Chains A and B, each alone.
Chain A
């Protein structure tokens, strides 16, 4: 029997069928003269009548609060409020979210309710979450409301940085202050040399011992000053490739169905970039970002906490614009800046740009963000295709290394993983110039 629609409320099929069953038994009992048959059907009819006697007067009010990430547990939670309505003791809810299995429940809504809905995800970026479908249920399940929907709500999940010990710095430093040593003389800590006093030298820098030692009898006395190396800050440009947002399951590369427990290449790239940005900015360096998806929009290198927030937000909203166009012109990188490229290197575009920047004299670090692959369910043909793709990628990375680009594989999200060690090693490696 189909549900009967009347003004937003329906007679439920379960109640209608039960009442019909009760009536059938009653009528049969009447026809064959068996009162016990009538009595067997009586509770079903009385139940229906009782339910009708307490009709629903309004719809329960369901509202969903703003989702909030709980970083420690990779969770996102949101408050769900249900306001009671007269004659509606229960509300059936279905909570669903992208890439999650939905959950259905019958909730007691005789009193105002505050529920907490949550889900686990390691994904970052702009996400839509928590679609709530709900139906009001009257007493004895006689009436139900038409299905209504709240949400989903949009949220931007920011990438979380992990700890790093040391990071590589550019071949060239900028300015006269900062955390790094410079080759120029200035106000830094390390002794550079001792020189004859010249206009512009500060009096407190005069080295009286050397001055006394170098005095020659009869000659015009000369003052000597101690000169130190200056300090400088580093300029770092982060270049994120958002095109290949692939998950670890190779089988899902076509379908795009990625488990929320699997970080994609873009998630890893965002997290790696956020980690490096935080580390450099904490050192007082200047960090910029090249976002190739929106016409090559660039955040110029800057420092400070607000710039860090801006960078992380830009990283979170960086995503593929659906076009696989080939960028002919690489964005301009400030002179002397180090370039960190985050890519899967499944094609040549970002590898070529990295090589070009290296040839221009920049220090270039390529962070390989392809997730650890899972080849489960891969057909033999797809396996061969993957193998060819992999060989091309291996050659590409080898070419990068040969051209002076330093390649680091970013595995997972842990602070104790491989990238920490490799980056530390790179930071201690000798500065090379071509």
Chain B
């Protein structure tokens, strides 16, 4: 059709090339990685977490949808739902089985990577130094939590009641959350 119109019009020089996309603004960053690669990494880790959580067909379906949402959209609830769904699946196993250690690592990694790249579009970029900046905190938390899990495993092996362990862990986390909430309130007041 375009050719026909071009011939019809018989202009001096009629150009019927396909229109080009508008060019992109350029920002010269330090060494960086594309946001899509981080999102794909989140997807891969999330799939690993689903694999560790004894998936049935329903979990695969829900997990697949959530992973697609995490990678392709900026819906912040998707990773949280994935964490709850896959995390809750540990009740299918014996307490502190080996895959639980993997889930602790994987779900935390999903949370960290979504925090870094979740709000960026697929075409966005993240400076590599920011990934290294987050690494010490990630490793620090993992050392603490994996040690706790290992302790739990040892306690289970020595047949300590898991209910008491759960109660102790729950109280510790409740105290941590309370401290965190108070800190948020103080902090935001100071910034007002």
Contact = CB atoms under 8 A, between A and B. Distances in A.
Contacts of A411: 13
Given A35-B162, A130-B25, A106 B127 contact: yes
B12 A409 contact: yes
A7 B188 contact: yes
A99 B20 CA distance: 12
A418 B132 CA distance: 57
A35 B169 contact: yes
A26 B87 CA distance: 10
A99 B25 CA distance: 10
A105 B29 contact: yes
Contacts, number: 306
Contact of B148 (A42, A89, A99): A42
Nearest to A20: B80
Interface string B158-173: 0000110111111001
A260 B163 CA distance: 67
A91 B107 CA distance: 25
A107 B130 CA distance: 8
B120 A92 contact: yes
Given A12-B115, A14-B119, A409-B12, A26 B173 contact: yes
A349 interface: no
Nearest to A18: B111
Contacts of B95: 34-36
Contacts of B190: 7, 55
Residue from B88, B103, B142 with most neighbouring chain A CB atoms (10 Å):
B88
Interface stretch (A115-123, A172-180, A268-276, A302-310): A115-123
B44 interface: no
Nearest to A371: B15
A26 to B, nearest CB: 5
B169 A106 contact: no
Interface string A375-391: 11110100100110010
A249 interface: yes
A28 B88 contact: yes
A260 B2 CA distance: 23
A261 B192 contact: no
A99 B22 CA distance: 7
B176 A46 contact: yes
Contact of A13 (B26, B76, B107, B125): B76
Residue picked from B18, B103, B111, most chain A C-beta under 10 Å: B111
B17 A115 contact: no
Interface residues on B, range: 35 or more
A373 interface: yes
B162 A33 contact: yes
Given A106-B126, A110-B133, A260-B23, A18 B79 contact: yes
B143 to A, nearest CB: 11
A394 to B, nearest CB: 9
A127 to B, nearest CB: 13
B58 interface: no
Q: How large is the interface on A (under 10, 10 to 19, 20 to 34, 35 or more residues)?
A: 35 or more
Q: From A45, A80, A92, A110, name the one whose CB has the most chain B CB atoms within 10 angstroms.
A: A45
A367 B144 CA distance: 77
Contacts of B163: 33
Contacts of A374: 14-17, 19
A206 interface: no
A24 B29 CA distance: 39
A139 B83 contact: no
Nearest to A42: B145
A383 B8 contact: yes
Contact of B87 (A21, A48, A96, A390): A21
Contacts of A102: 24-25
Interface in A1-55: 1, 6-9, 11-30, 32-50, 52-53, 55
A103 interface: yes
B46 interface: no
A56 B184 CA distance: 11
A38 B22 contact: no
Interface string B98-116: 0010011001100110111
Interface in A206-237: none
Nearest to B26: A118
B83 A18 contact: yes
14 contacts: A8-B192, A14-B119, A26-B173, A36-B95, A39-B100, A42-B173, A99-B22, A103-B25, A104-B123, A107-B127, A140-B137, A259-B19, A259-B23, A376-B2
